[in-house]
Amino acid sequence: MNASLGAVRAKRLKKRDSNRGVDRFPCTRCGARLKFEPGTKRLVCEYCGQENVIEDRPDEIREYPLHQALEQLEKVRPAIRRRQIQCDTCGAQFRLEKNFHAGECPFCGTPIVVGTADSKPIEPKSLLPFLVDRQQAERLFRMWLEGMWFAPGRLKKYARRDARLTGVYLPYWTFDSDTETRYTGSRGDIYYVNQRVQFMKDGRMVSQVRRVPKIRWTPVRGRVARFFDDVVVDASRSLPRQILDRLQPWDLENMVPYDERYLSGFGSEFYQVDLDEGFDRAKQVMGQVIHQDIAFDIGGDHQRIHQLRTRHIGTTFKHCLLPVWSAGFKYRGKTYRFVINGRTGEIQGQRPYSYWKITFAVITAVLAVLGVVAVLDRSGLLQQMQYSNY
């Protein structure tokens, strides 16, 4: 197919797809589908090498008032509609996976991106494009396997055979909030008193005066304030939350305005954690920091917090997409998931342990300690160390 025919076909496909709210990004040279190349700002045709640059958009990445959005969501809560899609490359009809709005044709691999407006009331307005490509992700996975302690001996073979990396943009919320917290509590200050104690020494009972610590508690009340910027909360239920939390930090300062072209060749999920639930999770994250602020404000050697009340002022949010490489592998009938940060290469996941290796290591450590104790006992050093404690 020559360049002119490819361009004509591309225009027809684009026009037809735009009417359906489906983007396929055809190559203007050969008509094949273009895919985003991680670490760049371009779409690349894997057949003829044609490249299309993704131009920077002047759109500003905005924060949106939280309470205003929650009020609007109370009025309209549309359900997810799984749209029937027809692939113009092979003619097959299919639906994307549940909760996904970007992916590939399951029959020919054509990349497809579907708009989110009629499926979710809040659309993503920004994203972080992939920096880590598939080859880098596979290398990171192999290094992760090699570094596993106490892993079953045959795990690496099973994992490498079963793991199939998938690049996907996951939905996230970020929240900004100015907080003010009033609290009541107690401050504990350590002081010392002299106290006589008795103990055995050289076969006889002796007594000695020691300084014993006590705590003096004083009632306190006060106020702390803190501004939270971009508290990140994942809005997906496809992967374990504890794994996704450990992928942070994200370089959110490098986010770009939402552009479907960055999604071409990758999967992308709708949010499954609603905005109000996401803010509840964000408040838990903020609450941990606020507790630390209160403890510092109370001072002393120990702190007790009896009551606290936090006000959130001028809270705003963003809905964005963040890139991950995800895969799973089976070992002895159980599935283990792992995820790679598509920006930094940070990898987190689930893994099995070899209880035989752990047991052997514990036994070895106990025998080593017993050997050291025996040597000290024979040399008389153990008895000297015991006396030195009194």
CA geometry: angle 165, 168, 172, nearest 5 deg: 140
State how far the Cα of 54 lies from the Cα of 40, in Å rounded to an integer: 9
State how far the Cα of 114 lies from the Cα of 32, in Å rounded to an integer: 18
Is 120 within a domain? no
Query: Residue 217: enclosing H or E segment and its boundaries?
Result: strand 204-234
pLDDT value for 77: 58
Strand, helix or coil for residue 357: helix
* Residue pair 35/111 in contact by the 8 Å Cβ criterion: yes
State how far the Cα of 372 lies from the Cα of 378, in Å rounded to an integer: 10
Per run of 10 residues, the mean pLDDT along the chain (length 390 residues) is: 41 42 70 86 84 85 95 73 58 58 58 66 93 91 68 52 77 97 97 86 82 94 97 91 90 94 90 95 97 97 97 97 84 74 88 52 66 61 52
How many other C-beta atoms lie within 10 A of the C-beta of residue 281?
Answer: 19
How many other C-beta atoms lie within 10 A of the C-beta of residue 274?
Answer: 17
State how far the Cα of 33 lies from the Cα of 1, in Å rounded to an integer: 14
According to DSSP, the β-strands at 93-94 and 334-341 are unpaired
State how far the Cα of 67 lies from the Cα of 276, in Å rounded to an integer: 9
pLDDT value for 350: 64
In which residue are the tokens 């026009």 written?
A: 15
27 burial type by CB count under 10 A (0-12 exposed, 13-18 middle, 19+ buried): buried
Total domains in the chain come to 1
Is 362 within a domain? yes
Closest CA to 16 of 84, 82, 87, 81: 87
Query: Which tokens in the block code for residue 112?
Result: 């497809």
Q: Any residues with CB less than 8 A from the CB of 269 and at least 6 apart, and which?
A: 99, 100, 101, 168, 169, 170, 171, 236, 238
Angle between helices 134-146 and 155-162 in degrees, nearest 10 = 160
DSSP state of 103: E
State how far the Cα of 232 lies from the Cα of 240, in Å rounded to an integer: 15
pLDDT value for 104: 63
Is 349 within a domain? no
Quote the domain boundaries for residue 376.
Answer: 357-388
pLDDT value for 285: 96
- Name the phi and psi angles at 24, rounded to 5: -125, -10
State how far the Cα of 277 lies from the Cα of 77, in Å rounded to an integer: 14
How many other C-beta atoms lie within 10 A of the C-beta of residue 67?
Answer: 12
Query: Which tokens in the block code for residue 196?
Result: 């006589």
pLDDT value for 341: 95
Is 380 within a domain? yes
Is 384 within a domain? yes
pLDDT value for 136: 92
Query: Which tokens in the block code for residue 281?
Result: 């999770």
Is 366 within a domain? yes
State how far the Cα of 319 lies from the Cα of 269, in Å rounded to an integer: 12
DSSP state of 261: G
For the CA atoms of the chain, what is the radius of gyration?
Answer: 30
pLDDT value for 155: 52
Is 376 within a domain? yes
Query: Which tokens in the block code for residue 303?
Result: 């702190």
State how far the Cα of 181 lies from the Cα of 113, in Å rounded to an integer: 44
* Residue pair 208/308 in contact by the 8 Å Cβ criterion: no
According to DSSP, the β-strands at 126-127 and 302-331 are parallel
CA geometry: angle 117, 23, 256, nearest 5 deg: 70
pLDDT value for 10: 43
50, 126, 175, 226, 281 from 277: Cα distances, Å = 44, 20, 12, 22, 6
pLDDT value for 150: 45
DSSP state of 260: G
State how far the Cα of 208 lies from the Cα of 77, in Å rounded to an integer: 74
Is 343 within a domain? no
